[in-house]
Amino acid sequence: MSEYAKFTEDMIKTHTILVPDMLPIHFRLIISIFEAEGYKMELLQNRSRSVIDEGLKNVHNDACYPALLVIGQFMDALKSGKYDPDKTALMITQTGGGCRASNYIHLLRKAIDKNYPQIPVVSLNFSGLEKDSSFKITPVMFLKMFYAVLYGDLLMTCYNKCRAYEINKGQSEKVLNKWQKRLGNMFLKKSNFYLKLDRISNDILNDFEEISLSSEKKIRVGIVGEIYVKYSPLANNHLEDFLISEGCEPVVPSLLEFVMYCAAGTFNDAKIYDNSTTQSHIYKLGYDLMYHQQKKLISIMKKHKVVEPFHDFEHLRKLADKYINQGVVMGEGWLIPAEMAALVQSGVENIICTQPFGCLPNHIVAKGMSRAIKKYNPDANIVAIDYDAGATRVNQENRIKLMLANARR
């Protein structure tokens, strides 16, 4: 397909942009940021088997599970009749790295070309891809998105911890919904109140601390792996909910760690290959800003008892050096073994590596590094779970139950 529908400036007012269900908490905040600029967006919630069926119809066998799900979810939504094809656009993320995910936008365009050639596909990326689109991210929007990631991480972490122990069921979800709405309204406004990290984070932590929690000691299970399967309930078969139903506490590393990993990869590669560029210097400045704010949030979290602080990213980099070179940046690269090592070090010895079947980079840095992690941490209890259209949920959950049985011993 040589030509495809372009997202024009006029479409900002007329079109609804559909967003895949990858990070439910974070994406709701990010959508508010775009809505403040006049965009209309909707986070997709269709999660039935028809999503997978549509993906299988429209994606070839070489594409990994995240591509199948994202494209399947879009096609299922469009075929539902809920959306006017003449006033609908689709949004997909691109990392710009070596992973096949950077090319999924072309698979999506090919899938919709037969039935919906008028629907444009826009790219959410920070690598300068898709330059001919009117879908733009301004510096102010970028700054807001960074804070949306910070607050989204804090909400996700507090929510997972509290709902695992809450005495009054549903109380944690009420606090989560309250803050998603409050933060969403904040990003909708033109004020810069979102910059008040100390005040907002303390208020969030105080609200979650008011939830009555059980003192029961539960098995803590870390979740690492490929970014889409790691965070998306659609992709991992509601893994966090399953762990809670099994009497466990899910511990999910922050999205900011992946964002900083991507930034560090750019300036770290420049150092490894002795090829400093303007872009690598910009990424280093951005990384320094993110790291400063991460340390600030960590210090705030240390003053509260509700959750453990996030992993300091420089500490993660040092942990990675013990097991793998930081030049390994295909897929989630060195970040996966670093997160596994950090989780074990913080007392979360039971870990699930979520990965799409056939994702070679992540099989190497997840399954391939498990033995190295266990060598230095004999108590580590790590299981790799493959997610694919042909993998049954029962089989996945049985393997997790076996891992939990080992943990309970």
Question: Is the model's pTM score more than 0.85?
Answer: yes
pLDDT of residue 133: 67
Rounded Cα gap, residues 328 and 340, in angstroms = 16
Q: Express each pLDDT in 379-403 by its tens digit.
A: 999 999 999 998 899 999 999 999 9
**pLDDT above 80 (res 91):** yes
Contact 89, 14 (CB under 8 A): no
pLDDT of residue 1: 44
Q: What is the mean pLDDT of residues 69-92?
A: 95
Tell me the chain's radius of gyration from C-alpha atoms: 21
Rounded Cα gap, residues 82 and 79, in angstroms = 8
What are the distances in angstroms from CA 109 to CA 106, 233, 333? 5, 24, 28
Q: Which of 158-167, 228-237, 336-345, 359-368 has the lowest mean pLDDT?
A: 359-368
Q: What is the mean pLDDT of residues 357-378?
A: 87
Give the single-character DSSP code of 166.
B
Q: Tell me the pLDDT band of 94, cut-offs 50, 70 and 90.
A: confident
Determine whether 378 is exposed, middle or buried from the number of CB atoms within 10 Å of its CB (0-12, 13-18, 19+). Answer: exposed
pLDDT of residue 128: 60
Joined together, the tokens standing for residue 194 give 């979102």
Cβ atoms within 10 Å of 238's Cβ, excluding its own: 15
Q: Tell me the pLDDT band of 88, cut-offs 50, 70 and 90.
A: very high
Q: What is the mean pLDDT of residues 194-212?
A: 97
Chain position carrying tokens 């509260």: 304
Q: Tell me the pLDDT band of 130, cut-offs 50, 70 and 90.
A: low
Higher pLDDT: 115 or 182? It is 182
Q: Which of 131-145, 157-171, 377-391 has the lowest mean pLDDT?
A: 131-145
What is the percentage of the chain residues whose pLDDT exceeds 90? 75
pLDDT of residue 100: 60
Pick the CATH number of 11-136 from 3.40.50, 3.30.70, 3.40.1350, 3.90.550: 3.40.50
What are the distances in angstroms from CA 10 to CA 6, 7, 39, 87, 364? 11, 8, 11, 11, 45
Q: What is the mean pLDDT of residues 153-166?
A: 98
| For the chain, domain boundaries | 11-136, 216-408
**pLDDT above 90 (res 238):** yes
